[in-house]
Structure 1
Amino acid sequence: MADFPQPDITDTNRPFWEGLDAGRLLFQQCDQGHRWLPARDFCPDCLSSTFEFVPASGLARVLSWVVYRTAFNDAFKDRLPYNVALVELEEGPRMMTNVLCAPDALAADLPVELVIQKEDTCSVARFQPAGRKAEA
């Protein structure tokens, strides 16, 4: 199997990736209370450059998803079918991720909870249906 694609870790997003390595999902929050993902050097709402990384509860809901039945990268060919989902964290930020369940178990507003998994040298945030063990 091909190597799993690794993120481009920068000074801006390093706290996010280090948080995952430490077992926490972090998002940014500015001094005006706006919250966002992915990491940026300024708030996308008010452009403030005064912010902190805040731990998420790990709870979210599925907003949308697509199920891939063709691998467009060799690293994913043994994972077919797999999904890419947009989830909204309980705190408000949205992120792209995978939901660890069968494709037919995905539904709009499905409550999900954080699962941090290691891919090569990188920890990644994935989700599973709330209250259930991961299926994939």
Structure 2
Amino acid sequence: MSERIIAAPVIDASTKPFWDAAGEGRLMLGLCRDTQKHFFYPRGASPFTLSPNVELVPASGLGTIYSYTVMRVAEPYACAYVELDEGPRLFTNIVDCAFEEIRIGMRVRVVFKPTQDAEGGPGAPMPMFAPA
């Protein structure tokens, strides 16, 4: 089976630091400086306080599958909520794993998969998760 084509993300000034880090193989999270809580998706205001007192920080890239499903369309793929060790949950894909092996509570690690822009060129790598 061929690798599924993943659409490139739309990048703007507010998301560029996140995608630049992804291009270097680093997963980043937002951190509220007032509460010291991590959040995803990174943005310019804390979802906890609405304060702009936030920063982008490296994540461990490790987590646990909280919930998942397998989409059985032309080219099947697994979608999941992964709870990162830092706390936030991300909606993502589970890759490099047989569907029958995926389990709630399974430890996973971030991997970055290539994307393709509308013209067929390369886009920013997309963070997904594989068995740890």
- TM-score in same-fold range (> 0.5): yes
Q: CA RMSD in A?
A: 1.7
> Structure 2 length as normaliser, TM-score?
0.84
Letter in 2 for 1:129: P
Unaligned runs of 5+ residues in structure 1 are 71-76, 131-136
Q: Does 1:119 align with 2:130?
A: no
Gaps of 5+ in 2: 117-122
Note the C-alpha offset of 1:51: 0.9
Q: How far, CA to CA, are the matches of 2:111 and 2:22 in structure 1?
A: 10
Structure 2 counterpart of 1:16, from 11, 18, 40: 18
Instruction: Give the Å deviation of 1:39.
Output: 2.2
| Structure showing the higher helix proportion among its residues | 1
Secondary structure at 1:123's aligned position in 2?
A: strand
**1:87 counterpart = 2:89:** no
Q: Secondary structure at the match of 2:78?
A: strand
35, 38, 53: which one aligns with 2:38: 35
**Normalising by the residue count of structure 1, what TM-score does the alignment of the two structures yield?**
0.82
Find the aligned partners of 1:106 and 1:82 in 2 and give their Cα distance.
12
2:40 pairs with 1:59: no
2:61 aligned partner, one-letter code? G
